[in-house]
């Protein structure tokens, strides 16, 4: 393979066809193609419109609660005895995760486009709750597709969505997880093209979604970068985030991509181990393929059939990953590592006891990587981790595994 020269910037993608290197693109049925072209045009206009940006910022400040704090985890740092650990506290956002950042942005776009109905897919239910929330706030009817397995293991979020007025449609195809929910949402969209806005929750899907979701989530990294410069007068040595589809990760990574000294680490769900099929480590153990509108790393068999995967965390239980992550991996700008179910569970408990913060199982994967790395680093070094969601939704899952009565 020819050596590709280092790009001037790692932040200029995608190109006009929505490609990050060979990844990304617009692999959709003709029915949807005109819609995503219109969406792209509207998004281009909106992002350059000061009125849109002002409304986004106002809602960010007063509805979501931005900026989210940057928190020095003193006791965890002491306990691990190495690098200083900072958390970007996205779990303190309204609705309890980073998902709301993207939902507020896209609902403003839907309103601008004159759409009257919102559909969304959800895995852990965090994006479903955030979608139902913004739909309630802006007066849209909302249908959320959720795998039947996830409906079972994320019951509190199902109830929240219903309280918010959304209709939750369980999807029984496949293993009944995020992939199947996304298929069903696409089928809805292809059927209801005139009035419906598809609010994709992660930085994946056909162009312009990966770019748009990234831009809405980049507020995380932009704030964290400024906050850390303020607190420490320097940039972090490592930035770590969990990756399912990868929206919280690309949100915190993107503003640091051109800072050469900053190592970027994405943490994939290693599930029960990478030997078999019970994991969701698309980059570590997958191969490039085309699914849900984009080319990216996928878990698939030799015939190109998509595998189901497994993770303790519903939010990471997806056989693909956002295309920009695949590109960052392919050019070596970011590294991606797996964390197993039990390691995430240990990290979940450690943070709860040491810092009084109950994290979601998704960022518990990132935390487990922090726990591995921090002791090997110097005390003058800094790790920044995206604490992307709170763990209230996971207490039933965790309780069951730990054998605790609830």
Is-catalytic flag, 211?
Answer: no
Binding flag, residue 353, another protein (CB under 8 A):
no
Site for another protein contains 299 (CB under 8 A): no
What is the Cα–Cα distance from 24 to 293, expressed in whole angstroms? 8
Residues from 245 through 274 that contact another protein (CB under 8 A): none
Q: How many CA atoms lie within 13 A of 201 on its CB side?
A: 33
**Residue 114 sits in the site that holds another protein (CB under 8 A):** no
Active-site residue (options: 84, 88, 99, 115): 99
Q: Shortest gap between Cβ of 282 and another protein (angstroms)?
A: 14
Q: Toward another protein, which CB reaches closer, 17 or 230?
A: 17
CB 170 within 8 A of CB 164: no
Whether 247 is a known active-site residue: answer no
Q: Does 30 bind another protein (CB under 8 A)?
A: yes
HSE, CB side, 13 Å, CA atoms: give it for residue 390: 13
Question: Which of 304, 375, 378, 399 contacts another protein by CB under 8 A?
Answer: 304
Q: Are 301 and 307 spatial neighbours (Cβ–Cβ below 8 Å)? A: yes
Measuring CA to CA, which residue among 185, 145, 203 is closest to residue 326? 203
Q: Rule CB under 8 A: say whether 178 interacts with another protein.
A: no
Query: Alpha-carbon distance 160 to 384, whole Å?
Result: 31
Does 28 contact another protein by CB under 8 A? yes
Residue 292 C-beta: closest distance to another protein, Å: 7
Q: Which residues contact 175 (CB under 8 A, 6 or more apart)?
A: 147, 149, 308
Q: What are phi and psi of 214, to 5 degrees?
A: -60, -45
Sheet holding 142-147, edge to edge: 167-171, 142-147, 117-122, 196-198
Per CB under 8 A, the list member of 46, 186, 199, 340 interacting with another protein is 186
Q: State yes or no: is 388 an active-site residue.
A: yes
Q: Binding to another protein by residue 25, rule CB under 8 A?
A: yes
Q: Which of 115, 173, 164, 105 is nearest to 145 (CA)?
A: 173
**CA–CA separation, 229 vs 227, rounded Å?**
5
- Please provide the size of the chain in residues: 406
Stretch touching another protein by CB under 8 A, among 78-86, 146-154, 188-196, 251-259? 188-196
Check residue 292 for interaction with another protein (CB under 8 A).
Answer: yes
Q: Is 26 in the site for another protein (CB under 8 A)?
A: yes
- Please count the CA atoms within 13 angstroms of the CA of 367 that sit on its side-chain side: 32
Which part of the chain contacts another protein (CB under 8 A), choosing from 74-82, 104-112, 161-169, 182-190? 182-190
Please identify which residue in 6, 29, 53, 260 interacts with another protein, judged by CB under 8 A.
29
Check binding of 289 to another protein (CB under 8 A).
Answer: yes
Task: Select 38 or 57, whichever has its Cβ closest to another protein.
Answer: 38
Per rule CB under 8 A, is residue 35 in the interface with another protein? yes
Q: Which residues, 140 to 159, sit near another protein by CB under 8 A?
A: none
Burial of 201 (0-12, 13-18, 19+ CB in 10 A): buried
CA distances from 25 to 10, 13, 204 (A): 18, 12, 10
Count residues binding another protein (CB under 8 A). 37
Stretch that binds another protein, among 141-149, 190-198, 252-260, 309-317 (CB under 8 A): 190-198
Q: Which is nearer to another protein, 24 or 128 (CB)?
A: 24
User: How many whole angstroms separate alpha carbon 8 and alpha carbon 252?
Assistant: 20
Please pick, from the candidates 6, 12, 15, 31, the single residue that binds another protein as defined by CB under 8 A: 31
Instruction: Kindly list the residues in this chain that would bind another protein in the complex (CB under 8 A).
Output: 17, 25-35, 173-174, 179, 183, 186-187, 190-194, 287, 289-293, 295, 298, 300, 302-306
Supply the residues annotated as catalytic: 99, 121, 388
């Amino acid at each position: 393979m020819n050596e590709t020269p280092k790009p001037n910037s790692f932040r200029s993608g995608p190109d006009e066809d929505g490609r990050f290197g060979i990844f990304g693109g617009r692999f959709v049925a003709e029915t949807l193609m005109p819609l995503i072209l219109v969406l792209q045009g509207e998004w281009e206009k909106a992002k350059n419109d000061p009125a849109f940006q002002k409304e986004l910022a106002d809602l960010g400040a007063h509805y979501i609660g931005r900026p989210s704090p940057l928190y020095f985890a003193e006791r965890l740092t002491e306990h691990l005895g190495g690098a200083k650990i900072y958390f970007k506290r996205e779990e303190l956002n309204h609705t309890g995760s980073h998902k709301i950042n993207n939902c507020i942005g896209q609902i403003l776009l839907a309103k601008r486009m004159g759409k009257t109905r919102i559909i969304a897919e959800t895995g852990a239910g965090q994006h479903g709750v955030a979608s139902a929330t913004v739909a309630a706030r802006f007066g849209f009817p909302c249908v959320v597709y959720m795998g039947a397995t996830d409906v079972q293991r994320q019951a509190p979020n199902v109830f929240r969505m219903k309280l918010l007025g959304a209709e939750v449609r369980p999807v029984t195809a496949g293993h009944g997880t995020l992939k199947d929910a996304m298929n069903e949402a696409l089928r809805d969209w292809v059927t209801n093209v005139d009035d419906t806005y598809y609010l994709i929750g992660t930085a994946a899907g056909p162009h312009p979604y990966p770019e748009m979701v990234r831009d809405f989530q980049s507020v995380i990294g932009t704030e964290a970068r400024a906050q850390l410069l303020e607190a420490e007068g320097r940039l972090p040595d490592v930035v770590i985030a969990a990756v399912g589809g990868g929206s919280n990760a690309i949100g915190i990574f993107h503003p640091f991509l051109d800072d050469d000294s900053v190592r970027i680490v994405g943490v994939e769900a290693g599930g029960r181990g990478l030997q078999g099929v019970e994991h969701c480590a698309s980059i570590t153990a997958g191969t490039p393929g085309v699914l849900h509108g984009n080319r990216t790393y996928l878990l698939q068999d030799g015939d190109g059939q998509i595998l189901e995967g497994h993770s303790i965390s519903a939010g990471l239980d997806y056989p693909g990953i956002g295309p920009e992550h695949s590109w960052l991996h392919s050019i070596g700008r970011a590294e991606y590592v797996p964390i197993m179910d039990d390691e995430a569970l240990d990290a979940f408990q450690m943070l709860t006891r040491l810092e009084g913060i109950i994290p979601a199982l998704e960022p518990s994967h990132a935390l487990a990587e922090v726990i591995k790395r921090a002791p090997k680093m110097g005390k003058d070094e800094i790790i920044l981790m995206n604490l992307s969601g709170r763990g209230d939704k996971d207490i039933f899952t965790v309780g069951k595994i730990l054998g605790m009565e609830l």
